[in-house]
Structure 1
């Protein structure tokens, strides 16, 4: 009996040790990205009701050197969509609308509105033009409050990209329309409906919509980039612009409450949570992307808005929740979330490392000068200035490239690399851009 007791004590101490080891790996991964200026924000990782990592990295505000903390508030971007979708399902449960309702029921004069259903809007299969593809508007007008008519005017009269229900194309416009439909069906402003159905019942006390005018000491500033020597603040997008497609702000703790509510089938029925997770087309359900890990369903969604990149990843079967919130527009937040998940499931992942630049004579750099075409209407012009190779993509600012080895360069401002290609005569004929786990070849045209 004593031997069994001793064995029980030994096994009882094993689990905390395993948890500590997992936490150390999770923290090491995020810290590696942070040290390379590829992550600045907060992270929460939980499994089976236990929080394994709840930590902040980097600056909440660089101007006064205020550091992020676990309670820092971030804009979420498109993570908002799962909340909008949940309220739509709640209203259907209350028989205030149907997913098969036509858009024309709520907006009778909407072109071809009698062919677009609420479900098409939820699943990005409506064919409605995505207004955030309007570069001029996104660069110049996102800080200015806009009326429903102004936003709808950005896409309403544009032709559909395809016949509704036949293809998939991500559309923020569709989710903005869902917000307008919620207001009509519920008879209240969208934000009030969200607070009544979700934020209030779940005590998500640090979650809301008007981030631009939020007065809170824990409110973060969004940046286009943060380095050792500088930072570039991003404009604050007005909530009327991103609206039901991306206007929410929140914290890791509040989003964990959201996860717990989903685990307990709160807000909507278990059957409707299942509907939300079920992919309709292109792995997308109702506000959730659906995939798998270790043979189990993984649901997730990322978000991006001026100065912020976010992600939430969940494995409902194992009560796993990962929240990554970044206020330096770091493009690898999704990869960080996936790598954290890989640690939990003991799958392969890689730690980022610092690339070391070598000196290359200016005469050697001259051979890379020219213009390279990667996509229609997208080129990169390479020039040499002050002994540095400079790349300028179409419509973007110049960026210095640093040589790592012959014909292979990397950027510091983003995680991207370029390899120049040659023909049999050793002449430069093109390049390959490596970014976001993609290889994009380009042909030298000048």
Structure 2
């Protein structure tokens, strides 16, 4: 819905107040820290695109508040600190605290089987507890990644129908034995809150949390018409391709991601929670403690928060991703620092920004590790294939039954990594058995058994790993053979040149340069195309192919772009 245009004076005033640095500093180098943060955010979120609002506080007092970019591309409204964003999975902490409120009142126990409250739910004969849903150790797959969900997320369905969509699927693992991030588990927790409290989920959270915390500018999905200053969510990359997103049916997000808020309200929430006025200190600390799995595995996840250690500092964090919006919030309890970043641009990751802010504030290195010379004597031990177990905090089998591997091999005296369907990367060594990719947050460690043989590849993220690390087990899968590249005439390459529409506003431009053929997607870098036949080409950076469809007169009016699925692109120029 278009927003009525305000007076020009109000527009200018919003620009002036969108940058607000409060009086207290971060440390003795506060001015340089502020300049560093501001330059990072400005570079990532230009004024002409959907953007981000950033708040940083210490001891509960805002130190830095600034907005970057637009809340509405059509009307060219700038973002301000009062804009309301969908916060996605950051909502889970409110559900978790709602459960803890009921537990503190003696109305439920975290060790209760969920069938006590949802007797019709299919647990496949297993005991699945409330705590296991809180810690993503229930084994229940996440419905958002299940095949078929794309056709359902905008539909108005009863809770019973939503539960039917995933409850009969096999559990991913024995409850309590592993970790796999599950929106389904938090949908179930929201239903348990309703069952135990006798209140609608939204009513319970608003009465028991929002109102008590003084969150006066926070709402739920489905309440868009009463939000006074909302940000519009956009998907895409590049100013010409940003588009407003379709909205989830609010029932799907309930408990897992249905809250919309602003940076100031989220600071009020964090302040109120840690004050101990809502739930006792011991319950707060329980929520902020990572769940330990059998064998001593640290899941890095508590109740609604990701909980990790960075050097000797505890990091309490959760982000969110929902159509058109991304969010991230970090709390550093020892330093009493809270950082929250809300964005209406899914083309750019706010967590990359908050990572750098955390490292800067804690005076930790944000650059790549210092590289050391390869231990080439170990290359033979490293080479091989390693089966991917999890991705993005979820077990891979939540997404697909297809096996995926990370292939390690030596090429030109360097160690290379390529994932199934992914690009080719050079691994650089920084310690014994430890490697990184230049300008990437990924870290790779080869795991040895008692005999010194490499049995697995452990993949983590720096500075913070979400959930369990991905322990890739050595397998016997063969690395795909390199494709044979052929030479195609310059006349044929010129015939392929043009612009082809992949989807409205997102095109593939095909052009020649210095006798070679390139493809460039809207808003992205150009990539070289390699010929494997007279009309079929592939990319080396990603597992993608382009097939030019020629008519009887050899004219090319469409192409087939394949990356996981086939997409027909019609020539528009």
TM-score by length of 2: 0.61
Inter-CA distance 86–21: structure 2 relative to 1 (3 Å threshold) = same
Q: 1:125 aligns with which of 126, 137, 140?
A: 137
C-alpha displacement of 1:404:
12
Task: Specify the alignment match of 1:198 in structure 2.
Answer: 209
Q: Which moved more, 1:271-280 or 1:126-135?
A: 126-135
SS at match of 1:321: strand
Structure 2 Cα separation of the partners of residues 301 and 15 of structure 1: 22
Q: Kindly indicate whether residue 187 of structure 2 is the aligned counterpart of residue 170 of structure 1.
A: no
Return the offset for 1:211: 4.4
Q: Tell me how far 1:153 sits from its aligned partner.
A: 1.1
Give the C-alpha shift of residue 411 in structure 1: 6.4
Deviations 1:195-227 (A, max 9, x none): 121100011011121345333331111111363
Query: Is residue 153 of structure 2 the alignment partner of residue 142 of structure 1?
Result: yes
Q: What runs of 5+ residues in structure 1 fail to find an aligned partner?
A: 1-11, 352-371, 422-427, 435-441
CA distance in 1, matches of 2:224, 2:26: 45
SS at 1:201 equivalent = helix
Instruction: Provide the residue aligned with 1:431 in structure 2.
Output: 540
CA distance in 2, matches of 1:284, 1:389: 46
Cα deviation for residue 230 of structure 1 reads: 4.5
| 1:307-335 Cα shifts (integer Å, max 9, x gaps) | 11111111011111111111111342111
Change (3 A) 1:167 1:324: same
Give a deviation string over 1:348-367, Cα, whole Å, max 9, x none: 3369xxxxxxxxxxxxxxxx
Are the aligned partners of 1:206 and 1:251 in contact in 2 as well (CA < 8 Å)? yes
Q: Is the 8 A contact 1:37 1:226 kept in 2?
A: no
Q: How many residues align?
A: 390
Structure 1 residues 110 and 17: CA distance shift in structure 2, 3 A = closer
Q: Which has the higher contact order (CA 8 A, sep 6+)?
A: 1
User: Which residue number in structure 1 is paired with residue 128 of structure 2?
Assistant: 116
Summarize the Cα distance change of 1:166–1:419 in structure 2 as closer, same or farther, 3 Å threshold. farther
1:402–1:411 CA contact under 8 A, matched in 2: no
Is 2:51–2:68's contact at 8 Å kept on the other side of the alignment?
yes
The answer on 1:225 being equivalent to 2:236 is: yes
The corresponding residue for 1:7 is none
- Could you tell me whether the CA contact under 8 Å between 1:143 and 1:235 is conserved in 2? yes
Which region of structure 1 is more displaced relative to structure 2, 253-262 or 95-104? 253-262
Give the 3-state SS of the residue equivalent to 2:212 in structure 1: coil
Partners in 2 of 1:197 and 1:404 — Cα distance? 63
- Residue 414 of structure 2 corresponds to none
Q: Which residue number in structure 2 is paired with residue 310 of structure 1? A: 327
Task: Give yes or no for contact 2:126–2:175 (8 Å, CA) kept in 1.
Answer: no
Q: CA deviation at 1:345?
A: 1.5
Offset of 1:267 from its aligned partner? 1.3
User: In 1, distance between residues paired with 2:249 and 2:309?
Assistant: 35
CA contact (8 A) 1:45 1:322 kept: yes
User: Is the Cα contact below 8 Å between 1:290 and 1:297 reproduced in 2?
Assistant: yes
Partners in 1 of 2:179 and 2:501 — Cα distance? 33
Indicate the SS of the match to 1:347: coil
- 2:366: which partner in 1? 349
CA distance in 2, matches of 1:282, 1:404: 49
Mark the CA change 1:349 to 1:387 in structure 2 (over 3 Å): closer, same or farther. Answer: farther
8 Å contact 1:300–1:311 — kept in the other structure? yes
> What is the CA distance between 1:144 and its match in structure 2?
2.9
1:83 aligns with 2:94: yes
Alpha-carbon distance in structure 2 between the residues aligned to 1:404 and 1:183:
62
Q: How far apart are residue 160 of structure 1 and its match?
A: 0.9
CA distance in 2: counterparts of 1:315 and 1:14, whole angstroms: 16
RMSD of aligned Cα (Å)? 3.8
Contact 1:37 1:227 in 2 (8 A): no
Q: Paired residue for 1:257, among 247, 268, 292?
A: 268
Q: For residues 156 and 432 of structure 1, do their structure 2 counterparts lie closer, same or farther at Cα, with a shift above 3 Å needed?
A: same
Partner residue in 2 for 1:156: 167
Residues 408-429 of structure 1: CA distance to partner in whole angstroms, max 9, x if unpaired?
Answer: 9986647x897999xxxxxx99
Q: What does residue 48 of structure 1 align with?
A: 59
For the pair 1:34 / 2:71, whether they are aligned, the reply is no
**Contact map agreement 2:44 2:348 (CA 8 A) in 1:** no
* Aligned equivalent of 2:354, options 327, 333, 337: 337
Identify if the C-alpha distance between structure 1 residues 409 and 297 changes in structure 2 by more than 3 Å, giving closer, same or farther: farther
Rounded to whole Å, the distance in 2 between the matches of 1:125 and 1:433 is 33
Structure 2 unmatched ranges of 5 or more: 1-22, 292-297, 369-418, 423-476, 481-492, 531-536, 544-562, 564-573
Distance, in Å, in 2 between the alignment partners of 1:432 and 1:230 is: 23
The answer to which of 342-351 and 154-163 deviates more is: 342-351
User: How far 1:125 sits from its partner (Å)?
Assistant: 0.8
Q: Given the superposition, is the C-alpha separation of residues 230 and 133 from structure 1 closer, same or farther in structure 2, using an over 3 Å criterion?
A: closer
Whether the 8 Å CA contact 2:329–2:341 is kept in 1: the answer is: yes
- Compute the TM-score of the two structures, normalised by the length of structure 1: 0.77
- Preserved CA contact (<8 Å) 1:226 1:232: no
* C-alpha contact (below 8 Å) 1:77/1:245 kept by paired residues: yes
SS at match of 1:115: coil
CA distance in 2, matches of 1:60, 1:430: 36
Structure whose CA Rg is larger: 2
Q: Which is worse superposed, 259-268 or 185-194? A: 259-268
Q: 1:418 to 1:212 in 2, by over 3 A?
A: farther
Larger CA deviation: 155-164 vs 203-212 = 203-212
CA contact (8 A) 2:510 2:517 kept: no
Distance 1:71 1:220, change over 3 A: same
